[in-house]
Amino acid sequence: MGKEVPVANKIKTDLHEILDIRHLTDSTFVLRIEKKDLDFEAGQHVCVGPPNGIHTREYSIYSAEQDDCLEILVKEVENGLVSPSLKKVQKGGYVVVEEPVGYFTINKDLPADQKYVFIASGTGISPFHSFVKSKSNLNYTLLHGVKKADEAYDSDVYEKGKYVLCTSQDTKGDYNGRVTSYLKDNKFGTDVHYYLCGNCNMIHDVYDILEEQGVSTDNIHAEVYF
């Protein structure tokens, strides 16, 4: 045909050096990884796994687009195949990383002053951390649902008044109760774009609440964590 066409679209994987491991709680940690040439859009995820295994898992990227490293937020899953291995890796070691992918990103066609509400459960805060760190002047409120206040991962990153910690099993959060209850008690409007990231049940319930509040599904974007 003579014209230049993509020869193949095989998923690219590579070994990336571990630059740092930062433990946030007993089970949750931030893995800082060599970026190499992996450009990404905030909200995308990568598949990461130990270098000597065949298994990888998807992790939303935690770091900012412009950072010179990649970070992922990992919660150790008991009896899991990947997260316990990732917890044991050492600085200077390696992990397998697939190229970033995903559509859970901010729509570039929306106006610069668009109001966003980010709703996360647990480590579902990861893409929102990347949004906030990547894009200055983002007009957002972040609702973070966790069991206990020690799961408020890196909450000092967010501007005062823009981060609402909802704790269901202690009273140390900004709101004592589930993030879904907070959302029922506090309406943000129908012209807002809502981004949801976390477990299926939270997302399912939030969809119902927002639709009851008259929010169009066009304004709701979801990324499910399993």
Partner 1 sequence: MKKKVGFKTLGCRLNQFETDALASKFVGLGYEVAEDSRNADVFVVNTCTVTNQSDQKSRSVVNKAINQGHTGMMIITGCMANHHKEQLEKRYPNAYVVNNEQKSAIPQLVEAHFNKEILPANESKGGVFSYVPAAETFHTRSMIKIQDGCDNYCTFCIIPKVRGRAVSRSVDDILENIRQVVGFGYKEVVITGVNISRYLSDGVGFSGLLKQIVDIDLDFRVRISSIEPDSFDDDFFKLLEHPKITPHLHLCLQSASESVLLQMRRMYTYKLYKRIVEKLRNINPLFNITTDIIVGFPGETESDFAQSLSALEELGFGHVHTFKYSKREDTRAARMTKVIDEREKSKRSELMRQKSLHAKIKYRQQFIGQSLSVLIDTVKDDFSKGYGEYYVPVKINQKLEKNHLHTLTITGIETGGDDPCLIAERIAL
Q: Would you say 5 or 112 has its CB closer to partner 1? A: 5
Contact 80, 49 (CB under 8 A): no
Q: Would you say 24 or 81 has its CB closer to partner 1? A: 81
Q: Is 89 in the site for partner 1 (CB under 8 A)?
A: no
Q: How far is the CB of 219 from partner 1 (least distance, A)?
A: 11
Residue 65's identity, in one-letter code, is E
Interface with partner 1 in residues 48-67 (CB under 8 A) = 58
Residue from 76, 83, 86, 81 nearest 33 by CA:
86
Which distant-in-sequence residues (6+ apart) come within 8 Å of 219 by Cβ? Answer: 190, 191, 192, 193, 194
Q: Which residue has the tokens 């919660």?
A: 75
Stretch that binds partner 1, among 32-40, 133-141, 142-150, 216-224 (CB under 8 A): 216-224
Q: 75 by DSSP, 3-state: which?
A: strand
CA 66 to chain centre: 16
Which distant-in-sequence residues (6+ apart) come within 8 Å of 185 by Cβ? Answer: none
Residue from 102, 154, 168, 177 binding partner 1 (CB under 8 A): 102
Residue from 17, 99, 150, 154 binding partner 1 (CB under 8 A): 99
Q: Which residue has the tokens 């012209």?
A: 191
Stretch that binds partner 1, among 68-76, 160-168, 186-194, 197-205 (CB under 8 A): 197-205
Q: How far is the CB of 102 from partner 1 (least distance, A)?
A: 7
x/- mask, partner 1, residues 10-39, rule CB under 8 A, reads xx----------------------------
